[in-house]
Amino acid sequence: MEVLWLTWRQHRMQVLLTTALLAVLGVALLISALGTAEFAARNAPVAGCMPYTPPCSTFTIAMNERIRPLGELLGWLPLLAPAMIGAFWGAPLLAREFEHGTHRLAWTQSVTRRRWLAAKIVGLGAAVALGGLALSGMVGPWLAAFDVPPFDVDRIDLRWFRLVGIVPAAWWLSAFVLGMAMGALLRRTLPAMAATLAVCALAFFGLLHAPPSYAAPQRAVQTKVMEDPAPEDSLFVNAYWIDRNGTTFTHEQVTLALTGPCGTDGTEETAKTYATCSFSHGYRQVAEFHPADRFWQFQWTEAAILLVPALALGGVAVRRTLRPRI
């Protein structure tokens, strides 16, 4: 208990500030969700309305305007939140002890080094993971309030993918372990914070568009004019054309080949006529996508990509810390 109390005393500022920020965000999301639910109950069009009719398009535009302000703010969290957790929770955890020499005092008390490390890393790591899950638990219901047909909110969409499920907790925890490891290896607070921020940024931009590559996409071959060959709530990957022999063509190549017999696909109506003409000349449009039921597969895949190397590096740092240079 003494070690847990000391850990709380040393890191209560980070815990309280993070809790306060999550609480403020939760209140904002709750207000937005309640207002959206009331708006949808009063203005949602009848079921099955066509997407391009005035009632549907008006409702969709209004819902877009409602989701946009908080959606833009939330869009920064997958980058900023893990970086701040790593830099301000993880990096100072051991670096500050080494920098100020207070680890010598801590390790000469009745508490063993192993127990001292376990209390700090496990206690704060659990708090970090709970914070990530709390974020997910708030964003999920908020998105559900907007998921009113014809306005669809897809959790597998890359805009929301890192804000729901277990991925926020995985990002937060991996950034925390990364920061702790950098502090243990560099033994200076500011260099450890800078290195943590740099690695978090590299990881974020490296994985930004990675989920579509976590599995081979499914294909839908379009042989007649339809609104969208891919199922609802799916993650779009790619679209292209093939001919009778299976040769792949880009949209521009097909357009160039059919400019004479089929004209162009400028407006919505001419696009349908153009597509019908293209199909009659033996071309088929292919859509590649991931169905919505791959959401949890992709969540666990990204969590593993983040946590396995972070925990491995953390293990190296702990091993070094247990044999300090005094």
pLDDT digits (tens, 9 = 90+) for 185-241: 998 999 999 999 999 999 999 999 999 999 999 988 877 666 666 777 888 888 887
User: Residues 280-309, buried b or exposed e (16+ Cβ, 10 A)?
Assistant: eeebbbebbbbeeebbeebbebbbebbbee
Q: What average pLDDT does this structure show over 142-148?
A: 93
Residue 256 three-state SS:
helix
Contact between 300 and 166 under an 8 Å Cβ cutoff? The reply is yes
Residue 29 to residue 52: CA distance in whole angstroms:
29
Residue, of 294 and 226, whose pLDDT is higher: 294
Residue, of 50 and 307, whose pLDDT is higher: 307
pLDDT band at 260 (very low <50, low <70, confident <90, very high): low
pLDDT band at 120 (very low <50, low <70, confident <90, very high): confident
pLDDT in the model for residue 310: 93
Residue 39 to residue 65: CA distance in whole angstroms:
12
Residue 323 three-state SS:
coil
Is the link from the previous residue into 150 a cis peptide, with omega within 30 of 0? yes
Contact between 238 and 220 under an 8 Å Cβ cutoff? The reply is no
**Rounded to the nearest 10 degrees, how much is the dihedral formed by the CA atoms of 267, 248, 220, 231?**
-50
Max mean pLDDT range (6-20, 54-68, 291-305): 291-305
| Helix 167-186 and helix 189-207, axial crossing angle in degrees, nearest 10 | 140
Q: What average pLDDT does this structure show over 269-298?
A: 79
Q: What average pLDDT does this structure show over 123-141?
A: 95
90 residue type, one letter: G
Q: What average pLDDT does this structure show over 318-324?
A: 76
Contact between 33 and 145 under an 8 Å Cβ cutoff? The reply is yes
Q: What is the CA radius of gyration of the chain?
A: 26
pLDDT above 90 (res 151) = no
Residue, of 272 and 300, whose pLDDT is higher: 300
Residues counted in the chain: 326
pLDDT in the model for residue 261: 62
User: What percent of the chain shows pLDDT beyond 90?
Assistant: 50
Q: What average pLDDT does this structure show over 268-277?
A: 63
131 residue type, one letter: G
pLDDT digits (tens, 9 = 90+) for 86-97: 999 999 988 888
Provide the mean pLDDT of the chain: 85
pLDDT above 90 (res 140) = yes
Comparing CA positions, the residue from 206, 246, 241, 181 lying closest to residue 79 is: 206
pLDDT digits (tens, 9 = 90+) for 24-82: 999 999 999 999 999 998 988 877 676 667 778 888 899 999 999 999 999 999 999 99
Residue 161 to residue 175: CA distance in whole angstroms:
18
